[in-house]
């Protein structure tokens, strides 16, 4: 797979140990979407409303979600700042903006959302560990690219793909947070009657059209980040997100339709008017 080496079009030595490591991590994330799609054809996504007798026990919901997601910004930060053995450019203002986008997303995801959630179901150990594993590699390849290997001069800030990508990222971030807020509100009476208030039909905003608008916006967010950074790791992350969340959204959509007879028939799973 040498043709995929990110160093092919740069001045980096393809035999440098760190370039080799980064390439290997990149190869794994090329395979991930294939693994995710094959997995989704055989199993249901194994957490939340779809979790069904997943072996090896569970981790408390809020704590587990916080640990699993906090790994990503921590590894990204380390990869961004730890110096490299290769001759690489110093981070620029543009690189710091990408770092800021990543941290904004993950501080919200791992701390603010968890803190604001009335309740999160325990996470089975297998998706918990897989999430940590995924976030370590993903944080490493993206942080290393933006902070060390990529070259982002100030002029990048005025490029069409930076402006378009950041706009799409922000649109995705806002839509994702708005949708997560609606799901959280469904649980506001959770302590009163746990069983009755566990899952309800979400209504409002994008939920009038989609069962999983939060996933639609998440994919939009990382596609925007990929366009803005124009980097192989970021495009792979966007692809992995889509290959993970599209099958899960289809399964959740199906779950809603079989669980609630009054579920609105006009809704799509994840892509407006299409899927
Ligand atoms: N980048 C990626 O690859 C990736 C992967 C996964 C998730 N994410 C993002 O992480 C966030 C959370 O994802 P998730 O997979 O946990 O989403 P989710 O399954 O929709 O659940 C989100 C939260 O809302 C609750 N909930 C969901 N539907 C509900 C309903 N109908 N009634 C009441 N409560 C409901 C869930 O309950 P439970 O606690 O019972 O599950 C959970 O606490 C999303 O914004 C998603 O986009 C990103």
Q: At 58, phi and psi to the nearest 5?
A: -135, 165
pLDDT of the residue at 189? 76
Q: Indicate the pTM of the whole model.
A: 0.93
- Of all protein residues, the one whose alpha carbon is nearest to atom 26 of ligand 1 is 183
- The per-residue pLDDT for 6 is 53
Supply 229's token pair. 């950074």
The span from the CA of 209 to the CA of 249, in Å, is: 13
pLDDT at site 182: 96
**CA of 210 relative to ligand 1 center, distance in Å:** 14
Atom of ligand 1 nearest to the CA of 51: 41
**101 within 8 A of 32, measured Cβ to Cβ:** no
Q: Ligand 1 in contact with 121 (CB < 6 A)?
A: yes
Determine phi and psi for 98, rounding to 5 degrees.
-65, -40
**Cα–Cα distance between 78 and 136 in angstroms, integer?**
11
227, 236 Cβ separation under 8 angstroms: no
What pLDDT is stored for residue 246 in this prediction? 96
Using the atom order of ligand 1, give the atom closest to the CA of residue 47.
Answer: 41
Ligand 1 atom nearest to CA at 215: 47
Find out whether the beta carbon of 199 lies less than 6 Å from any atom of ligand 1: yes
Distance from C-alpha of 107 to C-alpha of 171, rounded to nearest angstrom: 17
Burial of 87 (0-12, 13-18, 19+ CB in 10 A): exposed
**Which helix or strand (DSSP H or E) is residue 177 part of?**
helix 160-186
3-state helix, strand, coil in the chain (%, to 5): 70, 0, 30
237 lines ligand 1 (CB under 6 A): no
- In sequence order, the 6+-apart residues with CB closer than 8 A to the CB of 31 are none
- Output the residue whose Cα is nearest ligand 1's atom 29: 199
At residue 181, the pLDDT reads 96
Nearest residue to 82 (alpha-carbon basis) of 18, 176, 174: 18
**pLDDT value of residue 1:** 45
Residue 173 is classified by DSSP as H
Per-residue pLDDT of the chain (275 residues; tens, 9 = 90+): 444 445 545 566 767 788 888 889 999 999 999 999 999 988 888 888 898 877 889 999 999 999 999 999 999 999 999 877 666 677 899 999 999 999 999 999 999 999 999 889 999 999 999 999 999 999 999 999 999 888 899 899 999 999 999 999 999 999 999 999 999 999 887 776 666 668 999 999 999 999 999 999 999 999 999 999 999 999 999 999 999 999 999 999 999 999 999 999 999 999 999 99
Tell the residue number behind the tokens 């001045």, with chain if given: 11
- Measured from the Cβ of residue 187, the count of other Cβ atoms closer than 10 Å reads 17
What is the 8-class DSSP label of residue 206?
G
Q: Which residue has the tokens 């409303």?
A: 49
Residue from 214, 233, 235, 260 whose mutation best tests the ligand 1 pocket (most atoms within 8 A of CB)? 214
């Amino acid at each position: 797979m040498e043709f995929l080496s990110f160093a092919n079009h740069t001045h980096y030595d393809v035999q440098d140990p760190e370039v080799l490591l980064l390439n290997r991590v990149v190869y794994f994330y090329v395979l991930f979407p294939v693994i995710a799609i094959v997995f989704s054809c055989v199993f249901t996504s194994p957490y939340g409303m779809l979790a069904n007798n997943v072996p090896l026990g569970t981790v408390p919901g809020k704590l587990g979600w916080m640990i699993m997601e906090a790994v990503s910004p921590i590894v990204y930060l380390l990869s961004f700042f730890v110096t490299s053995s290769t001759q690489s450019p110093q981070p620029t203002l543009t690189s710091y903006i990408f770092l800021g986008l990543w941290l904004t997303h993950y501080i919200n995801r791992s701390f603010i959302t968890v803190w604001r959630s009335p309740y999160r179901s325990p996470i089975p150990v297998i998706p918990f560990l897989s999430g940590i594993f995924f976030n370590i590699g993903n944080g490493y390849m993206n942080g290393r690219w933006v902070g060390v290997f990529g070259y982002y001069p100030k002029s990048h800030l005025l490029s069409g793909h930076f402006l378009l990508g950041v706009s799409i990222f922000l649109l995705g971030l806002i839509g994702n947070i708005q949708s997560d807020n609606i799901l959280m509100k469904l649980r506001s009476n959770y302590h009163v009657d746990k069983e009755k208030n566990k899952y309800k039909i979400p209504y409002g905003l994008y939920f009038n059209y989609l069962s999983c608008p939060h996933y639609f916006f998440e994919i939009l967010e990382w596609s925007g980040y990929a366009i803005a950074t124009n980097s192989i790791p970021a495009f792979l992350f966007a692809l992995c997100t889509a290959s993970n969340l599209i099958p899960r959204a289809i399964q959740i959509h199906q779950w809603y339709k079989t669980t609630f007879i009054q579920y609105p028939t006009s809704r799509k799973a994840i892509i407006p008017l299409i899927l």
